Chains A and B, each alone.
Chain A
Amino acid sequence: MSDAAPAADQTARLQTRRLRLRRDGLGSRIGVALLLSLLCAAALIALAGHNPLEAFLAIVQGAVGSQHQIGASLNRTTPYLLSGAGVALCFRAGIINIGAEGQIAVGGAGAAAAALALAGAPSLVAIPLALVGGALAGSLWAGLAAAIHLGRGVHEVLVTLLLNFIALLLVQQLLAGPLGQPGAGFLQSSLMPRSAWLSHLAGFDVHAGILIAVVAAAALSFVLWWTRFGFALRVSGSSRLAAAYAGFSLARLTWGAMLTAGALAGLAGGIEVLGMHRRLIEGFSLGFGFKAVTVALLGAMEPLAVVPAALFVGLLESGSLAMQRQIGVPTALITVIEGLTMLFVLAATAARR
Chain B
Amino acid sequence: MIEFLAAAIRIATPLALAALGGILSERAGVFAVGLEGMMLAGAFAAAIGAWATSEPIAGLLLAPLGGGVIGLAVAIVAVRFRADNMVTGLAVNVLALGLTSYLMRILASGGRPVSMRLPLLTALPIPALSDLPVIGPLLFAQPPLTYLTALGCLLMTLFLNRTQAGLTLRATGENPEAVFASGGHPARVRMLAVIACGAVAGLGGAVLTLQQVGTFTDGMTGGRGYMALAALIVGRWTPWGAAAACLVFGAAEAFELRLQSFGVPVSSYVVQMAPYLIALTVLAGLGQSSKLPAAIGQPLPSTR
Contacts and interface: CB of A to CB of B under 8 A. Distances in A.
A and B touch in the complex (CB under 8 A): yes
A347 B85 CA distance: 11
Interface centre among B83, B93, B105 (most CB of A within 10 A): B83
Interface of B: 31, 33, 73, 76-77, 81-84, 86-88, 90-99, 101-102, 105-106, 110-111, 218, 223, 226, 229-230, 233, 267, 269-270, 272-273, 276-277, 279-280, 283-288, 299
Contacts, number: 146
Main secondary structure of the interface of B (DSSP, over half): helix
Contact of B267 (A148, A151, A176): A176
B83 A347 contact: yes
A350 B33 CA distance: 18
Interface in A41-56: 44, 47-49
B269 A339 contact: no
Interface string A321-351: 0000000101011111111101100110111
Contact of A153 (B31, B93, B287): B287
A84 to B, nearest CB: 13
A347 to B, nearest CB: 4
Given A154-B287, A328-B110, A347 B76 contact: yes
Nearest to B230: A158
B276 A162 contact: yes
B86 A172 contact: no
Contacts of B91: 294, 339, 342-343, 346
A255 interface: no
Nearest to A324: B111
23 contacts: A48-B110, A148-B284, A152-B283, A152-B285, A154-B280, A157-B31, A165-B223, A169-B270, A169-B273, A290-B93, A297-B87, A328-B111, A332-B101, A336-B99, A343-B92, A346-B77, A346-B88, A347-B76, A347-B77, A347-B83, A350-B77, A350-B81, A350-B82
A347 B286 CA distance: 34
Main secondary structure of the interface of A (DSSP, over half): helix
A338 B94 contact: yes
Contacts of B90: 98, 290, 293, 342
Contacts of B230: 158, 162
